Structure 1
Amino acid sequence: MEAARVVTVSDRSARGERPDATGPVLVARLREAGWDAAGALVPDGADSVRAAIAEAVASGARLVVTTGGTGIGPRDETPEGTAPLLARTLPGIPEEIRRRGGSHGMLSRALAGIATGPGGRGALVANLPGSPGGAADGLDVVLSVAAHVLSQLDGGDHDAAAHRAATA
């Protein structure tokens, strides 16, 4: 069972002013999908996001999803915290999440890509919206390719049979 980490990015939740309505839902969905999932909560800002993702990858997480901070508000800096950690970008993932997100999806600045973990092992990192519904829909997109991405990072083949086996 691969490890996954959900990083909720929210000033108000980090200060205890509002419960985290999204992170626990994503952790539960990841566990249902067979991942060893845990959550973390950090305030908005590039530095806090970068530190949380880096810690998750360093601890062996193969999938890291953030939720929140991808919009255009003054403290929305999740993409800025994510970008320096990505050795390769995977623009198709956030493009598909934006496509499914309707008119508000167009305002997302989310990123996805590969970060390098211990021993050079890759991890899939994806920024998701902060709303519970948007994050759940975004997680569906990520999960639709996550097994194949990890298989590829571990040297797997590109053929259709290998892809079906990785995503079954």
Structure 2
Amino acid sequence: MQPESVLRAAVVIVSDRSARGERADAVGPVLVERLRADGYELGGARIVPDGADSVEAALRAEIAAGARLILTSGGTGIGPHDRTPEGTRQVLAHELPGIAEALRRTGAEHVPTAVLSRGLAGVADQPGTGGVLIVNLPGSPGGARDGIEVVLPVARHAIAQLDGGDHDPGHGAGHDGDRDSDAARHDRHVGGRAPVHGHAPRPEEADHRTGGDHPRGGEHPHAGDQPDAGGSMGEHPHAEDGSAAR
């Protein structure tokens, strides 16, 4: 298994115009910089034209080069040239639908058309390792920026799991092996009282845990207050992802 500090990553930008040199790639540098900041080793972004074959070839090349995490951007919409999911599916051994669903959910908080994204996430086989995590991100700078923040918190844990590592109690809450550590964290959060399994909290306990001020019904306390980061999930300023930009 590779040490975390030397995990390789790769970025594949899918855009006809950028591939032809008609438009500068604004997304690749954003993703590359963020991955490097998170400790991944990678070169510049690979730019390919739209199409299943070009995407598949680029992914296979990056897998052969040793990347353990590959992020694509662009071509995930419903337009006539959007075929990134088709190319990605050709190299996946199995899909991880939870990541793709989380990306769409995050995008829909900003732009309703994010639900039209057909982006995939999954694992591809790689000789000598447990596999490669591949995730399709939107084509806009804002969408890609939002999307990578969904991926990074789980990427290293996923790669470690692929390589046969133990479940990390700091990740994957809800796994049977993590219940004790989850309970301990919750105990600290509620002021030292250990929760009793199967016992619903009394009203006064619930008020103590939430402070009485958090919105109910699963709302995010800052929902609707996020500033515009220059785009969001599912949008592409040039409609190459099949959705409209703000």
Is the shorter-chain TM-score for this pair beyond 0.5, marking a shared fold? yes
Whole-angstrom distance in 2 between the partners of 1:125 and 1:97:
13
1:129 aligned partner: 138
Q: Deviations over 1:8-28 (max 9, x none)?
A: 000000000000000111001
1:109 aligned partner: 118
1:153 aligned partner: 162
Whole-angstrom distance in 1 between the partners of 2:30 and 2:92:
25
Whole-angstrom distance in 2 between the partners of 1:139 and 1:122:
19
TM-score (normalizing by structure 2) = 0.64
Asked if residue 45 in structure 1 is aligned to residue 51 in structure 2, the reply is yes
Instruction: Quote the offset at 1:158 in angstroms.
Output: 2.1
Whole-angstrom distance in 2 between the partners of 1:123 and 1:140:
18
Instruction: Quote the offset at 1:121 in angstroms.
Output: 3.3
Higher strand share: 1
> What stretches of structure 1 of length at least 5 have no aligned partner?
none
Structure 1 stretches of 4+ moved >2 Å: 118-121, 161-164
Q: Deviations over 1:59-99 (max 9, x none)?
A: 11000000000001110000000001111110000100100
Match of 1:60 among 66, 71, 77: 66
Identity in percent: 60
C-alpha contact 1:91 1:112 (8 A) present in aligned 2: yes
C-alpha contact 1:8 1:68 (8 A) present in aligned 2: yes
Match of 1:140 among 149, 158, 163: 149
Structure 1 residues 70-89: aligned runs within 5 Å: 70-89=76-95
Cα distance, 1:160–1:104 mapped onto 2, change above 3 Å: same
Asked if residue 36 in structure 1 is aligned to residue 41 in structure 2, the reply is yes
Partner amino acid, structure 2, of 1:157: D
Number of residue pairs the alignment of both structures matches:
164
Whole-angstrom distance in 1 between the partners of 2:171 and 2:151:
18
Partner amino acid, structure 1, of 2:165: G
Higher helix share: 1
TM-score (normalizing by structure 1) = 0.93
